[in-house]
Structure 1
Amino acid sequence: MNDRLRRISPLWSVTDVSEYLQVPVQTLYSWRSTGGGPPARKVGKYLRYVPEDVVAWVDGLGTEVA
């Protein structure tokens, strides 16, 4: 494996993102079906997330509390 590939972060699974955001897995699926939540990619039949995209999505959320 070359050095460039070793530096690439592995993609996160739905479970990984659920743990990171501390929300249920079902919430991620609900957000996806309504067009919300962090951006995900289909890899075969699986959803995968680029860690930097998830962090950027969180950073872009407002700080106001409803």
Structure 2
Amino acid sequence: MTDCYLSVAQVAEILGTTERFPRRLIAERRIPYLKAGKHVRIARSALDAYIAANLVPASPRRTTLRRSV
């Protein structure tokens, strides 16, 4: 199976951020990337793994109400 490689602009669009954020992830080595000449590409599977690793699960809602005194 071949992996789809995304540009920094495509990653930013998927994450809903500016291009600066994926570039910072690359500079801080927080996400694996491929560098071919001057082009930087991020594998879709690496992006999915990054999203899954940083996903914060929803907490259960409290069923009791606090009484104000």
TM-score, structure 1 as length reference:
0.69
Unaligned ranges ≥5, structure 2: 58-69
Q: Deviations over 1:11-62 (max 9, x none)?
A: 11111101111111011112222232x3211011111011111101110114
- For residue 39 of structure 1, the aligned residue among 32, 36, 54 is 32
RMSD across aligned positions (CA): 1.9
Choose 1 or 2 for highest CA Rg: 2
Listed as ranges, the matches of 1:44-63 within 5 Å are 44-63=37-56
Aligned length: 57
Flag as ranges the 4+ runs of structure 1 deviating above 6 A: none
Higher percent of residues as strand:
2
Unaligned ranges ≥5, structure 1: 1-6
Higher percent of residues as helix:
1
Determine what percentage of the aligned residue pairs are the same residue.
19
| Structure 1 position 17 matched with structure 2 position 14 | no
